[in-house]
Amino acid sequence: MAKELWDMNHAEKLEKFGGMHFKGWQQKMFFYLITLNLARFLIEDASTLQEDEHDVQVISAVDAWKHSEFLCQNYVMN
């Protein structure tokens, strides 16, 4: 299994969880998300915008976070 983990190509899609061997699948998925630089979105919480927020950099950072979190969730679910 360790060889499979390290031989995974960046462009390869990890198989969907089939209901068996969760720990192995979880480890592979976490490694895959690390290679995509998306693993942090499993752990960290996003910043939230205040209603009266007008700073373009803050708004852009929150939008980028939401986009990356969306990608992370979709890699896990699909």
pLDDT tens figures, 24-50: 999 999 999 999 999 999 888 877 888
Q: At what angle do helices 56-77 and 22-35 cross, to 10 degrees?
A: 140
What's the total number of domains in the chain?
1
pLDDT at 78: 81
- Running DSSP on this structure, what letter comes out for residue 76? H
Long-range contacts of 26-32 (CB under 8 A, 24+ apart): 28/4, 29/75, 29/76, 31/5, 32/8, 32/75
pLDDT at 59: 87
pLDDT at 8: 53
19 is in which domain, residue-wise?
2-77
Q: What is the mean pLDDT of the chain?
A: 82
CA 58 distance to own-chain centroid: 21
